[in-house]
Structure 1
Amino acid sequence: MIGKGKSISHTRASMQYGWNQEKDAEVVYSKHLAGETPEQITEEFKIIQEQNARCTNNALSFVLSPTIQDGKELSAKSLGEITEKFLKEMKLQEHQAIGFVHRDQQHTHVHLYVNRIDFSGKAYNDSFIGKRSQQAAENVAKEMGLTTAREVQQEKLDRIKLIRFEIKQIHEKVMAEHRPKDLDRYIKLMEEKDIKVVPSINKSNRLQGFRFEFKGHSLKGSEVHRSMSGSRLVMGIGENAGKGFVKNKDNTVSLMGRATQLSGNIALKLAKQVIKQAIQKSAGFEIGY
């Protein structure tokens, strides 16, 4: 579950959004309130807020978002319990508050509005409220046996790790079995394996690198693996192609039917590779002689 929070001044407008009937809004929590409309509750907030006229952002807005799967299984009563526990974690349990659930989208979530001013006229300290909201939601999720934000993040990391591994495996297979001699051929071979390779070309028509799109993910080559950075990919294909791959005069390569200039970094690394190969070849010739 994810928790977000901030201080606001536009209480009525925000509450009207939370109580939007078109979003199938349903009240799941109410504390120290009698009103039945956003206007009435806003007025009740104002009665307390008048004790502290110096505080302009005098209301707090929170959004509590369980995971899609958890949200499907949570009743209005359970969401009310989650909201109550969240407010206790935030030490706001004795403030006026109202919470609405929205189920209009796949992702069930609670909009919670709290009077920042307590009954003694003191303003709640909203320092780092966003970070504290995240931690409070994390604590409630653990207590309620729900999926935490950390667990969601770890699932995403594990998924991306698998995607990176798959892309790298396919890349290595294409390079080893087909030994493409130009970039267009490499891009086509990868596309046949359901991986879209997108060249990153800046406004100066210089090739900076490549992005790899696979199973809904888009990663830079260097994010997949350092061996797939723009310079190393170009160097690998250049090694297969030999002479003529790069036009030395202006450091261009053929890409998508036109001449595209290599970035300074890629061109420099490619030049070093050519020099190194020439030295190795020369050394081998001398030994043979």
Structure 2
Amino acid sequence: MIGKGKSISHTKACMCYGWNQEKDAEIVFKEFLHGDSPDEFTREFKILQDQNYNCSKNTLSFIISPTIEDGKRLEPKDLSEITKRFIHEMKLGERQAIAFVHKDKEHKHIHLYVNRIDFRGVAYNDSFIGKRSQQAAEKVAERMGLTTVKQIQFEKEFNLKEIRTEIKRRHDLTMKQFQPKSFDDYVKAMQVNGVKVIPTINNQNKLQGFRFKFDGHNLKGSEVHRNMSLGNIGKKISGIHGARILKENNVSIKLTGKVVDLTPSLALKITKFIIKKAINKGIDIGY
């Protein structure tokens, strides 16, 4: 579950958004309020807000978002309980408050508005309110058996590790199976193995790197594995085919139907690798 919070000055506009019937809005919590419309809620807030002229951002606005899966099974009474516990964690008791649930999208979420000015005319301290909102949502989620941000992050990191491993496996398979003779061959061969390779080309038409798109993820080569930077891929291809990758022109190559330039540093890196490899093997590379 995610919690976000901030102080705002546009109370009525937010109340109207919360009560937006196009979003299938429903009131799930109301405290110290008697009205039945955004106008009435705003007027009731203002009675207390007028007691503190030094505070301009006098309404607290929160969004509490359970995960999509948790949201599917949460009834209005559960959403009301989430709101009550969140208010308790934020130490916002004994204040005017109203919460709406929006159900117009798959991701069910709560919009909570709390009067920053209490019944004594004192403003709530909103220091680090964003961070405290997330911490409060974490505690509520843990105590109600809901998915926390930490759990979501762990799952994302675990899944990302699996994705990286699979892309690297397909990269190794491509090199072994197809032995690409050029970057263009490599891009096409990776496509055959289910990975879309997207060249990163700057405004000077120079090839800077590759991104790898697989199973909904889009990663830079260095994010996948240190051996999958553009330079390392170029050296791998050169290791298989000697100087062919740079034979016709050591700065320009054909890639996905276009002619692009290699950066001088990349061309130099590959050239040095080819020369070093040739010296070690005692062969003529044709330069």
Q: TM-score by structure 2 length?
A: 0.95
Instruction: Specify the code of the residue in structure 2 equivalent to 1:58.
Output: N
Aligned to 1:128: 128
Q: Deviations over 1:37-83 (max 9, x none)?
A: 00000000000001111111110110000011100001100100000
The corresponding residue for 2:140 is: 140
CA–CA distance in structure 2, aligned partners of residues 239 and 261 of structure 1: 21
Task: Give the equivalent residue in structure 2 for 1:277.
Answer: 277
Question: Alignment partner of 1:81: what SS?
Answer: helix
Aligned residues with identical type, % of pairs: 56
| AA partner of residue 25 (structure 2) | A
- The offset of 1:258, in angstroms, is 3.1
**Distance in 2 separating the partners of 1:280 and 1:55:** 75
Shift of 1:16: 0.4
On the 8 A contact 1:6/1:60 being kept in 2, the answer is: yes
Counterpart residue number, 2:172: 172
Query: Which residue does 1:56 correspond to in 2?
Result: 56
- Contact kept in structure 1, 2:181 and 2:244, CA below 8 Å: no
Q: Contact 1:210 / 1:220 at 8 angstroms: preserved in 2?
A: yes
TM-score normalized by the length of structure 1: 0.94
- CA drift of 1:92 comes to 0.5
Corresponding residue for 2:199? 199
After superposition, the CA RMSD in angstroms is 1.5
Which amino acid is the alignment partner of residue 3 of structure 1? G
User: Structure 2 CA distance, aligned partners of 1:270 and 1:85?
Assistant: 61
Distance in 2 between residues matched to 1:243 and 1:222, nearest whole Å:
24
**Change in CA separation of 1:248 and 1:184 when aligned onto 2, cut-off 3 Å:** closer
Query: What residue in structure 2 maps to residue 80 of structure 1?
Result: 80
Gaps of 5+ in 2: none
Aligned equivalents of 2:26, 2:265: Cα separation in 1: 57
Contact 1:247 1:253 in 2 (8 A): no
Q: Distance in 1 between matches of 2:97 and 2:10?
A: 15
Summarize deviations over 1:226-277 as a string: whole Å, max 9, x none: 1101111122122223224225865222212333211233223213212321
Matches within 5 A, 1:1-289: 1-246=1-246, 251-282=251-282
AA in 2 matched with 1:120? R
Cα distance in structure 1, aligned partners of 2:236 and 2:57: 58
- Structure 2 counterpart SS, 1:93: coil
Distance 2:222 2:185 in 1: 20
Distance 1:56 1:260 in 2: 56
Query: Any gaps of 5 or more consecutive residues in structure 1?
Result: none
CA distance in 2, matches of 1:205, 1:246: 17
SS in 1 for 2:100: strand
Residue 190 (structure 1) shift: 1.2
Q: 1:36 to 1:24 in 2, by over 3 A?
A: same
Amino acid at match of 2:218: S
When structure 1 is superposed on structure 2, of 12-21 and 186-195 the one drifting more is 186-195
